[in-house]
Structure 1
Amino acid sequence: MRFLLPFLAGIFAAAGSYAQSDVVLKKKTLGDSVLLPTRELILPDPFNGEKALEALFPGRHYNLSTTYKNEMVNWTCPTCKAVKYPDANADEVLPFPYKNGVATRLINTMDFSDSTGMQYKVISFNHSEFEEDGFQTSRFTGGLLGLAKFVKTAEGWKLRMYAPAIKAYGAFSQAPTPKPLLIGQDQYAFVIKHSNGPGGGPFYSTLYMIAGINGTYQQIMEAYATEKTGGDPEEGDLSKWTSTYSAPVSDKKYFRDIIVTTKGNYDTADLDGFPEEVARQLKKSKKAGKFTMVQLFVYKAKGYELQPGIQVKVI
């Protein structure tokens, strides 16, 4: 099924503002070292996220921002080995780096310090297929997410961990903003809320977690249908909910358990999106009401796994 994010109207407004530019964008050819996870890079203090992005991808820089931010680095790499990265939308994906070129944009810069006082910066960035007009209009394609971690040293900000591409999330070739979460002693993960749904709703969200493992960043958890919004009650969209997540302090030094707490309203005539064991419990309760659902995720081997016995309370 083709999906549509709830911020469709905002995206079209942004696209309209970009269309006012008469600039024909170009791209710069880079060598295959641009994607090496072991590359070395030191940046001067104070740290600047946009400058860090340009150092990682030294292509052609453009700033077309007006009422919406639209700053990017355009590049191509004919000698790079193209790889297909998965897309949370499950649509067909193009090999990256894209044959037609890449537009890379900074998403955010995150600040951290550990128990020893060491300072870190992590930037997240978004890859989309190069367009001469600077558009991001591929409605059913996620933005390919990448992360880079820098540590402050006497020489400057040194690149410590680099994952140029991980997975595509979101829509209109735009990945959602990662949110940091402390999951262990001096151990941070990054949570992505990926939302989709048919035109007009309802819109479902899935939480994805990314963390550093074996010297790179990779996805380690997914929690499905953690939010349901929109839709028309007259068409049967009667249940809605939202979720919060946490990693409570425990005796686990790393990869603490993750708790996802979901609260909302349910109607037994609309149980789409609920885990099967939860739907069965709700059917045995009253026809409609408020509910709280608690899911526990425990780290095992290569990632977090949902534990059986989901807690459900009906009000």
Structure 2
Amino acid sequence: MRFLIPFLTGVMVAASSYAQTDVVLKKKTVGDSVLTNNREIILPEPFNGQKAMLALFPGRYYNLTRTYKNEMVNWSCPTCKAKPYEDVNEDGGGPFPYKQGVATRLMNIMDFKDFTGMQYKVISFNHSEFDEDGMQTSRFTGGLLGLAKFVLTDGGWKLRMYTPAIKAYGAFSQCPTPKPLLIGQDQYAFILRHSNGPGGGPFFTTLYLIAGMNGNYQEVMAAYGVEKSGGDNEDGHFSTWTSEYSVPASDKKYFRDIIITWKGTYHTDDLEPLPAEVTKLIKKGKKTGKFTLVQRFVYKGSKGYELQPAPQVTVN
């Protein structure tokens, strides 16, 4: 199921995407080692996310922060072999590194510690096309996500796993900030909430899960339509729902099952977006009511997580 980026939400996002500066930004040419997965990088303690970004992408750094945080590293790589990366928006995507240059922004720093006491830092970063004004204004283009994992050693923070580009999510060239999710013994994955929909609604949310496999980070799960808000019904009779996700305890060491629970309100004037498992249980003649749907996603090796049939459903 595919939808367009929400216009109203996008306008608000775009309003925060303009660099409030008269400075004409520049970029720095870097070598093709920026795309090498097995790079040797060690950073001093204490860990600094922006310095980690500059070590990974040694471009030209700018801090345009005024009313909102806006730091970036601008770079170009003429010798890099560009390749296409998927964008979850139908109108997005294209070869990376971008021909006109790249603006890379740090999104967050995530802290972990395993059962032995070993400490880790994972940074997420967002790539967008270089712009001399520092803007991110492409409504139908997501931000290209990358991840890097560092481990604390006697010599400092050593780069352990690095995937410069995974896939593009979000709107206005801005990827949603990933959040860590424990899916196994000392095994963390990263979940993204990508919301979209046509101008005026309805707006749908898809959950994407990113995990480390065979030395790289990659998408391993997509749960479509797990939330809905708004609608285009003239009478304002909408079906809406929210969702929560969890990883129940199990004897699986890695890639444990993931449960997604939908809770919402249905209205018979807006049944089309609802799963068939819900609509078939609505009593004849009843206009509106509550429902709960519980989905289970199971890891299937190279296929990633797959939705299992026969979800648990209750309708009132």
TM-score category of the 2 structures, normalised to the smaller one: over 0.9
Q: Please state whether the residue corresponding to 2:83 is helix, strand or coil.
A: coil
Q: Quote the residue 1:274 is aligned against.
A: 274
The within-5 A match list for 1:39-78 is: 39-78=39-78
Q: Please state whether the residue corresponding to 1:250 is helix, strand or coil.
A: coil
Q: Quote the residue 2:309 is aligned against.
A: 308
**Is 1:6–1:196's contact at 8 Å kept on the other side of the alignment?**
no
Decide whether aligned partners of structure 1 residues 187 and 271 sit closer, same or farther in structure 2, where only a CA change above 3 A counts: same
How far has the Cα of 1:39 moved from its partner?
1.0
AA partner of residue 170 (structure 1) = G
**Is 2:14–2:172's contact at 8 Å kept on the other side of the alignment?**
no
How far has the Cα of 1:50 moved from its partner?
1.1
Give me the TM-score of the superposition, normalised by structure 1: 0.95
Q: Please state whether the residue corresponding to 2:176 is helix, strand or coil.
A: coil
Q: Quote the residue 2:137 is aligned against.
A: 137
| Runs of 5+ consecutive residues of structure 2 not aligned to the other structure | none
**Is 2:4–2:196's contact at 8 Å kept on the other side of the alignment?**
no
Let me know the Cα RMSD of the aligned residues: 1.6
Q: Quote the residue 2:165 is aligned against.
A: 165
Q: Distance in 2 between matches of 1:203 and 1:66?
A: 31
Q: Quote the residue 2:99 is aligned against.
A: 99
Q: Distance in 2 between matches of 1:94 and 1:85?
A: 6
How far has the Cα of 1:65 moved from its partner?
1.1
1:126 is the counterpart of 2:123: no
| Runs of 5+ consecutive residues of structure 1 not aligned to the other structure | none
1:187 is the counterpart of 2:187: yes
% identical equivalent positions: 70
**Is 2:7–2:200's contact at 8 Å kept on the other side of the alignment?**
no
**Is 1:278–1:310's contact at 8 Å kept on the other side of the alignment?**
no
Q: Distance in 2 between matches of 1:228 and 1:184?
A: 29
Which of 1, 7, 10 in structure 2 is aligned with 1:8? Answer: 10
Deviations 1:206-226 (A, max 9, x none): 000000011110000010101
Q: Distance in 1 between matches of 2:283 and 2:90?
A: 30
Deviations 1:178-237 (A, max 9, x none): 010000000001000001111111110000000001111000001010111123553565
Deviations 1:58-104 (A, max 9, x none): 00000111111111000001111111111111224220000000000
How far has the Cα of 1:284 moved from its partner?
6.2
Q: Distance in 2 between matches of 1:287 and 1:310?
A: 23
Give me the TM-score of the superposition, normalised by structure 2: 0.95
Q: Size of the alignment, in residue pairs?
A: 313
